[in-house]
Amino acid sequence: MTANDPSSTSLQLTADGQLRHFLTLDGLDRALLTEILDTADSFIEVGERSIKKVPLLRGRTVVNLFFESSTRTRSTFELAAKRLSADVLNLDINTSATSKGESLSDTLLNLEAMASDMFVVRHSQSGAPHFIAESVTPGVAIINAGDGRHAHPTQAMLDMLTIRQHKGRFEGLKVAIVGDVLHSRVARSQIRALNELGAAEVRVIAPATLLPRDVESLGCTVEYDMKRGMKDLDVVIMLRLQKERMEGALLPSEREFYRLYGLNREKLALADPGCIVMHPGPINRGVEIESAVADGPQSVILNQVTNGIAIRMAVMSMAMGGQMAERNRKLAERVEG
Amino acid sequence: MTALLDMDQLLDDLEKGLRKRLEERGVTDPALIGIRTGGVWLADVMSKRLGLKEPWGELDISFYRDDFSRIGLNPKVKPSSLPFSTEDRDIILIDDVIMSGRTIRAAMNEIFDYGRPASIILATLVDLGARELPVQPDVTGRVLALQSHQRVKLRGPAPLHIELQETGK
């Protein structure tokens, strides 16, 4: 299962081009990405009403299947599903049957037997959501909530929504992604999305030890010197430094990293004055970003969280709708045949 | 057909009907909501004709459609926008064409998610009959009987005109 596997396109889209799973941004064109952003815009308005709920997924069961812990992503997926009127089951796999020796396939069969309609999957193994999408009963939608180092497509799309809200467009934008690109599934999805949506330049800024080999092939330029890299930026996206990865001697020290690649007011002043600051969270203050910047006027970090709910409502309703439309079409064909 | 659908005449009739209904109900401060897209154009026109000072609202009913489970989500959904609370308000809900009544059912469900209105008056420019739900307009510009393969669509926003479509079935 590679990131550019062409089979992911046919797996994710119905014959009519509707979304039916949301696994990766690979193979999704600008029109579909824009449709996701536009749909999310409409869901933002729903979040401002006195009753923040629409009936689209009423009577559907959504299972949050988290093999890797996460607070923000899981709770925004849960809130998104509830605002779509779905019933939601949160499964933290560490505390469930798999720790009693049940295999992934058996867990899934049991959940399908409970008539689940959608699985939101987070897994430390790249490709796990693809695997589930390939083997699941037809009609059940799979949403990738982050797999290994591969992809985190809803995070990338909520970032795109945030950029579009503040900049109004992607054409001509210069965007930098700073920090631990090597371990980041978010960065891969962001680079893909920014290129597809027409950003002028995607720049990664990091020490060579935190960049994947052939990083340019993802569609970005590379800058090792952050001060040089900040020049003319419209958007700077900080990545979380995965402290759990520090053991590999990829970094001299946190303090050294902060000095070279941490975002402080001085470095931010080198960017375009309208440059916005983003971070997928959770932030390590004083490691990747200075508090004065994280809480400052150019920071849009909390907008990202709000937008996360709307983006997740969009992909969940689009994928569920695609599944139901497909099932309906097949039923009609059977009747006619 | 064209003679039947003189737009100025239709709008005059709609306005007259609305004024009459508002008076009957004793409504002095209605809030106007149009259903996208045709209903929004009509809301703009009727708001001016009725001399309403408050801006009208617009509804996109895509999230409330009852055919979501058959065809999926409308890819062209736009945000609804109500610049007022519907709580305890007298609402005029306006759309271009009423047929099955399903759009109006969806619109009323959506309106209630913004608050409980005091009342709703339903106005449609054209009523094609063929109702599938027990929903009737209070005011309508014209009742039309079409053949089963025919549809009408409001084109606009300026000038507004009604187009007759042949569906080929």
The CATH number covering residue A57 comes to: 3.40.50.1370
- A277 and A319 in a single domain? The answer is no
Question: What's the rounded Cα separation, in Å, for the pair A18 and A225?
Answer: 42
Task: Take residue A31 and report the two structure tokens written for it.
Answer: 């029109």
Looking at the structure, tell me whether residues A67 and A180 fall in a common domain. no
Q: Is residue A1 part of a domain?
A: no
Looking at the structure, tell me whether residues A20 and A125 fall in a common domain.
yes
Up-side HSE of residue B130: CA atoms within 13 Å toward CB?
Answer: 16
For A266-310, the pLDDT digits (tens) are 999 999 999 999 999 889 898 899 999 999 999 999 999 999 999
Does A328 sit within 8 Å of B70, measured CB to CB?
yes
Residue B166 CB neighbour total at 10 angstroms: 9
Task: Say how far apart CA A43 and CA B63 lie, in whole Å.
Answer: 9
> Over the range A78-106, which residues count as b (16 or more CB within 10 Å of their CB) and which as e?
bbbbbbbebebbebebeeeeeeeeeebee
* Number of domains comprising chain A: 2
Residues A222 and A249 in one domain: yes
Q: Report whether pLDDT(A248) > 70.
A: no
Tell me, yes or no, whether A199 and A285 share the same domain: yes
Which of residues B98 and A50 earns the better pLDDT score?
Answer: B98
A94 and A220 in a single domain? The answer is: no
Whether residue A161 lies inside any domain: the answer is: yes
Quick one: pLDDT band at residue A172, thresholds 50, 70, 90? very high
User: A38: which chain B residues are within 8 Å (Cβ-Cβ)?
Assistant: 76-78
For A60, nearest residue in chain B (alpha carbons): B69
A62 has which bridge partners?
A88, A118
Please indicate, yes or no, whether residues A127 and A246 belong to a single structural domain of this protein. Answer: no
Residue A99 has pLDDT above 70, yes or no: no
- Same domain, yes or no: A142 and A159: no
Listed range (A71-80, A192-201, A249-258) with the worst mean pLDDT: A249-258
- Percent of residues, chain B, with pLDDT higher than 90: 83
Is A317 domain-assigned?
yes
Residue A170 near residue A156 (C-beta atoms within 8 A):
no
The residue type at A309: I
* Alpha-carbon span A27 to A38, nearest angstrom: 19
Range of the domain at A125: 7-152+306-336
Residue A179 maps to a domain: yes
| Residue A96 scores a pLDDT above 80 | no
Using a CB–CB cut-off of 8 Å, the residues of B that contact A are 60, 62-64, 68-73, 75-81, 85, 87, 109, 112-115
A331 lies in some domain: yes
Please report the pLDDT score of residue A3 as a whole number: 43
Cβ pair A45:B71 closer than 8 A = no
Q: Give yes or no: residues A190 and A310 share one domain.
A: no
CA distance B55 to chain A (A): 18
Same domain, A276 and A168: yes
Which burial class, exposed, middle or buried, applies to B51 when counting CB atoms under 10 A from its CB (0-12, 13-18, 19+)? exposed
Q: Look at residue B1 and tell me whether its pLDDT is greater than 70.
A: no
What is the rounded average pLDDT of the residues A306-325?
Answer: 97
List CB contacts (< 8 A) between A39 and chain B. Answer: 73, 75, 77
Cβ distance A128 to A66 under 8 Å? no
Taking the Cβ of residue A265 and every Cβ of chain B, the question of whether any pair is shorter than 8 Å is answered with no
- Chain B residues with CB under 8 Å of A42 CB are 60, 62-63, 77-80
B79 and A49 within 8 Å at the Cβ level: the answer is no
Q: Torsion over CA of A122, A91, A238 and A249, rounded to 10 degrees?
A: -70
Which pLDDT value is given to residue A2?
42
Chain B touched by A164 (CB under 8 Å): no
Whether the CB of A42 is below 8 Å from some CB of chain B: the reply is yes
Q: Is the pLDDT of residue B3 over 70?
A: no
Do A322 and A291 lie in one domain? The reply is: no
> What pLDDT is recorded for position B2?
47
Predicted complex ipTM exceeds 0.85: yes
- The CA distance from A328 to A322, in Å, is 10
Instruction: Evaluate whether residue A239 is within a structural domain.
Output: yes
Q: Which tokens belong to B39?
A: 């209903």
Shortest distance, CA A54 to any CA of chain B (angstroms): 6
**What is the distance in angstroms between the Cα of A49 and the nearest Cα belonging to chain B?**
6
Mean pLDDT of A107-134: 90
Residue ranges and CATH numbers for the domains of chain B are 7-22+29-166 (3.40.50.2020)
Q: Is the domain of A181 the same as that of A293?
A: yes
- Mapped onto helix, strand or coil, the DSSP state of residue A228 is helix
How confident is the model at residue B119, as a pLDDT? 97
How confident is the model over B125-153, as pLDDT tens digits? Answer: 999 998 999 999 999 999 998 888 888 88
Min Cα distance B9 → chain A (Å) is 35
Cβ-based neighbours of A210, under 8 Å, separated by 6 or more:
A179, A180, A181, A182, A183, A250, A251
User: Sign of dihedral through CA atoms B160, B162, B168, B169?
Assistant: positive
DSSP 8-state code for residue A240: P
Q: What is the DSSP string of A53-101?
A: --STTTT-EEEEEESS--SHHHHHHHHHHHHTT-EEEEEEGGGSGGGGT
Indicate if the pLDDT at residue A337 is higher than 80: no
| Facing B73 at nearest CB: one of A44, A46, A321 | A321
What per-residue confidence (pLDDT) applies to A289? 95
Task: Output the pTM of the full model.
Answer: 0.92
In B, minimum Cα distance to A54 occurs at: B63
Average pLDDT over chain A, rounded to an integer: 91
Residue A170 phi/psi, 5-degree rounding, is -115, -30
Residue B5, pLDDT score: 77
Closest-CA distance of chain B to residue A15, Å: 13
Of B81, B132, B137, the C-alpha closest to B110 is B81
Domain annotation covers residue A2: no
Distance from CA of A156 to the nearest CA of B (A): 20
Cβ-Cβ contacts under 8 Å between A and B: the total is: 63
Q: Which of B64, B73, B112 to mutate to test the interface with A (most CBs of A within 10 A)?
A: B73
